[in-house]
Amino acid sequence: MKELATEFGVSRHTVAAHLRRAKAPVRRRGLSHKQATDIVALYEAGGTSRELAHRYGVSADTVLRTLHRQGVKIRSRHGTGTLARP
């Protein structure tokens, strides 16, 4: 949806509304329970929200929301990150 929104100069919400009206199938992306558990473990091992977002193909905000929902204390933004690139 992000690509369509950019291409047509509209918001993702507008794209989603048009797709719903057209009854087009839309796959809802999200993290599985296993992915959320893995994200918590990797974050607690020193990974940053940005690294984890890149690894799982989601936004850093999604990672932070996942961590918050799992009760993880969020570190300051000055972390260095320790994840090896896949």
pLDDT by residue, tens only, the chain of 86 residues: 788 889 999 998 999 899 989 999 877 667 999 999 999 999 999 999 999 999 998 889 999 999 999 999 999 876 556 665 55
Q: Residue 6: its pLDDT value, please?
A: 92
Dihedral angle over CA of 44, 79, 51, 9, nearest 10: 130
Q: Residue 62: its pLDDT value, please?
A: 93
Distance CA 52, CA 25 (A): 28
What range defines the domain where residue 12 resides? 1-29
Residues 14 and 40 in one domain: no
Distance CA 49, CA 67 (A): 9
Residues 54 and 25 in one domain: no
Residues 60 and 86 in one domain: yes
Give the domain CATH number at 82: 1.10.10
pTM surpassing 0.85? no
